[in-house]
Amino acid sequence: MSIIENRKATHDYFIEERHEAGMVLEGWEVKAIRAGRANIKESYVVIRGEEIFLFGMHITPLTTASSHVHHDPTRTRKLLLHKKEIARLIGKVERAGYTLVPLDMHFKQGRIKLEIGLAKGKKLHDKREDEKKKDWEREKQRLMRVKV
């Protein structure tokens, strides 16, 4: 069950591979995410040492949250992957010029997971071509409905 989808990522990047990662979250963050108060549109994934972190994800605290704990809505969150997966991703990012992009946040067996994509950036002409394809598909669907 999807919570948030980053549609901007598929517009700006060619997604080569997808990986599912767990996240280290605090209790108030889980409650806020379940209430739909998270945003991954401006976030990005960074590799530091042998670990992967998510920067820029904004989680708006609930108003009913504890008043004695000071919440940081954009704190850095650690992503959880197997060592082999991390090593492979590090190799691709450093050697092949790929980048890691958050694509989708969803529930899996009661836990919150983040789908990250190994991506290459699109050029302007690629974006225009994708837009033309989308318009043609939309027009084709509209014409099919009119004929029936």
Burial class (CB within 10 angstroms; exposed 0-12, middle 13-18, buried 19+) of 71: middle
Single pTM value for the model = 0.78
Give me 4's structure tokens: 């948030």
| Contact of 31 with 65, CB cutoff 8 Å | yes
Q: What is the pLDDT of residues 65-121, one digit of tens each?
A: 666 677 788 889 999 999 999 999 998 888 887 899 999 999 999 899 999 999 888
Q: What is the pLDDT of residues 23-38, one digit of tens each?
A: 999 888 888 899 888 9
> Which candidate, 114, 106, 119, places its Cα nearest to that of 21?
114
Of all residues in the chain, the percent with pLDDT exceeding 70 is 96
Question: At 86, phi and psi to the nearest 5?
Answer: -60, -45
